[in-house]
Structure 1
Amino acid sequence: MLSRTADHLFWMARYIERAENTARMLDANYQLSLLPQSDEYAELGWRAMLSISELSGVYAAGHQGMKSRDVIDFMVRDLSNPSSILSCLRAARENARAVRSSTNSELWESLNTTWLDAQRLVADGILERDPYEFLEWVKFRSHLSRGVQLGTLVKDDAFWFMRLGTFIERADNTARILDVKFEMMEQRADTSAQPFDYYHWTAVLRSVSGFEVYRKVYRDVVTPERVAGLLILYGDWPRSLAASIAEVQHLIGKVMNGRSSETARMATQLCEELKNARIQDILQGGLHAYLVSFLARVNDLASHVSQDFLLPLAPEPGEPPPSSQSQTQTA
């Protein structure tokens, strides 16, 4: 497959997944903001979300304070924010348009309709009326696009590159969601608010569609340690870090070429470490440090994927820069 085509497909899938996960992070914070709490703690949640998304500076450049409505607006419809939901949906649609012949009309219609309807919903004031309704809609549309991929596409290189983009992005975002919520709890001064803690971790689980999974796996009260264990190590649940990296390892094997042996080795090593890890050891060494290291390794793995299969991150001497939006975000 041409590297330009693979690049469009890979980033199309990453942007779809990123839009969904941004909606999930916003949903968790929005639900928590409705609980009785101090203004300082409510602000901490929004500030931590921007920090872990590496968007604090971009937000501060155009906003005063940390009001929930301003953060939601910035993370949903601000096109100057390349990770906003509308920016991601637009980039996914443009990448899909560039490779329509490598997918099918059903996938194109799904992404094009999502982009058009998202603009209409936001213009009609849905964020002011009910942010939750819009965030649920974004998650549904992401599920729909993946369903079209799984249900209608031939399992060839195009399919594998889309799936590879999906699971690299999912691993990155699940780690960020977990890290931001543990950081909030560690900074919380009032350690006696156990009922609030229950709703905090329940919201985290619901943000990744993990609450019912948690109940099936543990059949007990919700604790931070078990939440971390589920999101990091539970390989039978498709949103965990272990499951995402296992898929990445499998998919790299499907598209391997003569230059990708080091990329395959990195994916295999990370996959094996997650299979053999224990949550007690991770927590003892510090969860934040573990997740920061994990995110760095996923970013390095994504960079190797780009070098092996996709367009170069910078044009070679004498070549024009890429015309697509596929490189508007770093891995």
Structure 2
Amino acid sequence: MLSRAADNLYWMTRYVERAEAMARILDVAQRMSLQRNAGLAGKSDEWEAALIIAGCDKAFAIRRGRVTRRAVIDFLAFAPDNPSSINACLRAARENARAMRAQITTETWESINAAWLELQGLTLAKVDADGPQAFFDWVCERSHLFRGVAEGTMPRGDAYNFMRLGTLLERADSTARILDVKYHILLPSLGEVGGAIDYYQWGALLRSVSALRIYRQIYRDAILPRRVAELLVLRADFPRSLHACFEGIFSILQRLRGHYRRDYPSVRLAEGMLMKLRYGDIEAIFDVGLHEFLTAAIDGNIELGAAIARDFMQPA
């Protein structure tokens, strides 16, 4: 496959997954703010935390200044000058899809094109009037529809492999960021640990990654930070966990290596990250520091993305 085609397909799915991640980030901030407004004592910086998770806090400070609910939703959802906003991500995904019309199925193109066209009819005022939760759910549903259509119609060749690779790499990044900000930035005072606000924040986090019911099925206990971290980091049977993402990434890179019969540095990087997760222990991770572990995972994900770009998406 030509490097340009691989790049377009890879970034098409990364942008769709990033749009979903932004909706999930805003969803957890919204849920936490509602809990605070309902009378639960706690910090009021969940909207600032949303910007930090998204990596947009510095850009927001320069372009918007004061952090408010409406300003953050507008910046992360609709702002054309924010390349990570839902609007910008779906536009970029559609442009990549349009360039790859010959490589993707008609149904895959129509799903992303329809999502983009529908988004053009939405504004911050309409989202406020209808309730932001409905908008966040809509973004996630369109992302799920896109993946489901691609999964059900795309042949299992190189195009599908690069599409899946983009999804998994972006998903690993968003899972690590969401967990890190809750644990490190929104960590309550010692007197509040284990209290109502702490419990509801962890519950909101699990909802934001569609994991609350799965958590209860697996652990059948109160929501505990160590078990939440174990589910989102080490459980290979949870599809949004770091372990599950890197299982998929490594498997795809192995297939690509076998197909092109070359030894790629990205394969070794992915294998090293997978081994840390496969043989990791949550108690050891907490002893070292969950924040430090997640920061290293995010940095490793960025390094792996750069290696994949060098290996497959730059002309030889």
Range into which the TM-score falls when normalised by the shorter chain: over 0.9
Unaligned runs of 5+ in 2: none
Matched-pair contact (CA < 8 Å) for 1:41–1:188: no
Counterpart of 2:272 (choices 255, 269, 272) is: 269
Shift of 1:125: 1.2
Matched-pair contact (CA < 8 Å) for 1:48–1:183: no
Match of 1:21 in 2: 21
Deviations 1:202-255 (A, max 9, x none): 100000000011011101110111100100000011100000011000011121
Match of 2:11 in 1: 11
Shift of 1:260: 4.3
Match of 2:85 in 1: 84
- Give the AA of the match of 2:310: Q
Q: Secondary structure at the match of 1:103?
A: coil
Unaligned runs of 5+ in 1: 317-331
Matched-pair contact (CA < 8 Å) for 2:265–2:311: no
Q: Summarize the alignment of residues 219-230 of structure 1 with structure 2, pairs less than 5 Å apart.
A: 219-230=220-231
Q: TM-score, normalised by structure 2?
A: 0.94
Q: Secondary structure at the match of 1:125?
A: helix
Match of 2:308 in 1: 305
Match of 2:59 in 1: 58
Matched-pair contact (CA < 8 Å) for 1:81–1:87: yes
Q: Distance in 1 between matches of 2:201 and 2:125?
A: 31
Match of 1:296 in 2: 299
Matched-pair contact (CA < 8 Å) for 1:45–1:184: no
Shift of 1:53: 2.3
Q: Distance in 1 between matches of 2:96 and 2:41?
A: 41
Deviations 1:249-277 (A, max 9, x none): 00111212355432111111111110100
The RMSD of aligned alpha carbons is 1.8
Q: Secondary structure at the match of 2:108?
A: helix
- CA 1:260–1:141 in 2, change beyond 3 Å: closer, same or farther? farther
Match of 1:182 in 2: 183
Q: TM-score, normalised by structure 1?
A: 0.90
Deviations 1:155-206 (A, max 9, x none): 0000000000000000011000000111234354752671121111110000
- Give the AA of the match of 2:301: V
Deviates further, 85-94 or 62-71: 62-71
- CA 1:58–1:260 in 2, change beyond 3 Å: closer, same or farther? farther
Match of 1:96 in 2: 97
- Give the AA of the match of 2:225: P
Q: Summarize the alignment of residues 1-331 of structure 1 with structure 2, pairs less than 5 Å apart.
A: 1-36=1-36, 41-42=43-44, 44-122=45-123, 125-186=126-187, 188=189, 190-191=191-192, 194-256=195-257, 257=260, 259-311=262-314
